[in-house]
Each structure stands twice: as structure tokens, then as C-alpha cells.
Amino acid sequence: MMKILNKLLLLSATCLLSSNLFAQDTVCFKNNIEKPSNAEAIALDGGACEGKFSLNEMKENGWDVLDIKILPSKNKFNYTYYLIKNNNQNGLKNPAIEDTTISKKNFSIKPVGMKIENIKDNKTTINLGNLIVGQSGIVVHIFDNDKRLIISNAKVISSTANSSVVEFFKFDDLKQDALPTSKREISVGDVLVLNYMYNSSLLIAPTLDSFQAARGGFKLNNFIHSDIFAAKLKINNQPYPTKEDFQEFAIEQNLGTIFFVLDNKVFIVDTKTFAILESYALNYNNNEIQMPFYTRVEEIESSILDFSFFSDKKSLSYDEYYKRILGLSKW
């Protein structure tokens, strides 16, 4: 029975990773290569390579190498490549959306994968700079049979021009009382993937006009409609969503970012760390502002047992409320 449950857990994690992490992934191989120097120019078998494309040609077609396995065999070598391709690339926004330059860091929704080469005090240092503090991701363990398991969350805690320090923290997105959790520890050779599910987003806006303007400006993001979040708030008698409400909903819906429209800007927030990743100027009509946000779900009423510490929340305007949620007093 325990073996069956473990397989179910692994299958759930693998499905989640496969469906959300990258637009495409494939495994290609070539056996009995005599000279390693020729490996990248030889047509590879399996997967998207189909015996037609070499590694160099796959790279030219937008594929990146995430993992390589090389096994000796009778004075020859067997090569296996795990390749990924993201169709979104860096794609973020419509040219009509203007940068407000919160930082000079390079923000992108494109997943970035690399092998973990060192671990100290639950952290790793990677040779990738100019990242954003609060940028998050996951750690993936790849088994010998090419099955994958998410074993940890990760977040950037410091970054320079040439390197960044990433800290690990518990991954419990798949928490389910009926299934066991993995006890696998992070080890050198596991794969760190930053910007995990950053193209899956929730959009919070004050008006229909601002909602449409933001969604139209970021066409490469897959936005879940705010009505779904509003319906959850209505069921829970929660007309004023908290940071925790947003994060809980993001985990339930596998969302990596939340777009908050306020004060004629779009603030892009990481769902795990709630760090502001970037902001852009946005022009929209401020007529008919809705609280807690634009939605077609009506009458989200509070419970008679509402003892929230935001005692003045009902008197706050839309912009004031979300500035408080996001800690934007300094902006």
C-alpha cells in the first residue's frame, strides 16, 4: 500500500512539473559515440530530435540543455540530454505598457534552470547575477528513470552582478493528508528552477477598464479570472482579502505571480515571497472602482465574527488598501 501511495505522490509531482514548469520538454539520446568532441554535431534519437536533429540544431531551434548524462560503454559513450523549450521566452508586456523602473534587475517570466553545485546552511550560490531579491523557484530531483520530483521551494536572498545566493524553504504545495510527503533532502546535482509558473497569474484591478488594459498589455501571461478568487472570498465571508488569502489561493491554482493594478501602475508580485518583482505604468479609467477588486461576483459580505486587525479597512480606498497589503508606503 505504501509503495502505491509513494507512486501516486511521485506521479502528482511529475504531472505538476510537466504541465506547468516549461512549455515543452524532451529527452534525446545517442549511443555508441566514439569521440565526445563530435557529440553535439551528431543527429540524436528519441523525443523531439527524432533522429534528425543534432544538439547544435536543437539549440538553434530554441531548446536549452537542463541535464546531460554520459555513460561509458565498451570504449564508447552513450549520451542522454534532457532539453527544455519555453515558447514565451522573455515575453512580458505590450510596448504600450511603460517601465517605471523599480529596479535595474532583469525581470522575466521565462523559467531559468541550472544544476546545484554547492550547498551550505540551506543555501546555494549560483553563477547568475542581477536577480531580484524575493524571486522564487523550486528544486527538482531527477531520478535515473527520468521521473522528476519537486523537493523544495527556493528564493533569491541576495544578488550581485555576477552571482546570487538562493535559500531553500519547504515545498508543501501538494500537501494532502491522504498521501505521504517526500523526505528527500536537497543534494548537489539537483536542478534549481527560478521563475516557476511566473506566466500563470492572478490579476487584481479596480475597474473593468483597468482589468482589460492590464490583461491586454501582458498577453503572454495566462490570467485566471478574478471571479474565481472572488467566489472563494464570498464563500468564506471575506470581503477584504489578506496576503495569506492571496497566497493560499495561488497555491491552490498553481499561480506564480499576482498582478496588482493601483495608482496607475501594475505591480507584479511573487506569490511565494510576496516580493514586488517589477512595476509598469498603466493608463486606465478610474470610474466605478470596485472593492475589493473588479469582479462580477456580487455582495461579498463579511462574517459577523470578523475580528480582523485591520479595524479601519472599511474606510480605506482601493489604492490605500492594496498599498497596505503590498507594503507600498515607501513607493
Angle at which helix 243-253 crosses helix 226-235, to 10 degrees, equals 120
**Domain CATH code at residue 154:** 2.40.10.410
212 and 110, same structural domain? no
283 in a domain, yes or no?
Answer: yes
Name residue 268's beta-bridge partners. Answer: 259, 278
Query: Which of 191, 149, 195 minimizes the C-alpha distance to 174?
Result: 149
Q: How many domains does the chain have?
A: 3
Tell me the three cell numbers of residue 247.
497566497
306 and 261, same structural domain? yes
171-219 confidence digits (pLDDT tens): 887 666 666 667 789 999 999 999 999 999 999 999 999 999 999 989 8
110 and 219, same structural domain? no
Order across the sheet with 24-33: list the strands: 24-33, 76-85, 64-73
Residue 184 confidence (pLDDT)? 86
66 and 48, same structural domain? yes
213 and 190, same structural domain? no
Question: How far apart are alpha carbons 164 and 253 in whole angstroms?
Answer: 29
206 and 308, same structural domain? yes
15 in a domain, yes or no?
Answer: no
47 in a domain, yes or no?
Answer: yes
Tell me the three cell numbers of residue 319.
489604492
274-285 confidence digits (pLDDT tens): 999 999 999 888
Question: How far apart are alpha carbons 138 and 7 in whole angstroms?
Answer: 21
**Residue located via cell numbers 465571508:** 237
The DSSP symbol for 176 reads -
Tell me the three cell numbers of residue 137.
523557484
62 and 120, same structural domain? no
Long-range contacts of the stretch 265-271 (C-beta < 8 A, 24+): 265/100, 266/97, 266/214, 266/217, 266/218, 267/326, 267/328, 268/107, 269/326, 270/134, 270/135, 270/136, 270/155, 271/136, 271/246, 271/247
Contact call for residues 84 and 67 (beta carbons, < 8 A): no
Residue 163 confidence (pLDDT)? 95
Q: How many residues does the chain have?
A: 331
43 in a domain, yes or no?
Answer: yes
Tell me the three cell numbers of residue 69.
548524462
Domain stops at, among 161, 194, 227? 194
pTM over 0.85: no
3 in a domain, yes or no?
Answer: no
Tell me the three cell numbers of residue 34.
566514439
DSSP, residue by residue, 258-310: EEEEETTEEEEEETTT--EEEEEE-----SS--SSSS-S-------TT---S-
Rounded to the nearest 10 degrees, how much is the dihedral formed by the CA atoms of 271, 276, 279, 283? 60
Residue 34 confidence (pLDDT)? 86
Domain that holds residue 253: 200-330
Question: How far apart are alpha carbons 294 and 299 in whole angstroms?
Answer: 12
Domain stops at, among 194, 210, 233? 194
Query: Which of 172, 228, 178 minimizes the C-alpha distance to 200?
Result: 228
- The 3-state DSSP composition of the chain as helix, strand, coil percent (nearest 5) reads 25, 30, 45
List, run by run, the mean pLDDT of 10-residue segments along the chain (331 residues): 38 41 74 85 92 92 80 85 66 50 65 92 95 95 80 96 95 70 85 92 96 90 94 93 96 95 95 96 88 92 63 80 87 48
Question: How far apart are alpha carbons 268 and 257 in whole angstroms?
Answer: 7
Residue 87 confidence (pLDDT)? 55
Question: How far apart are alpha carbons 278 and 280 in whole angstroms?
Answer: 7
179 in a domain, yes or no?
Answer: yes
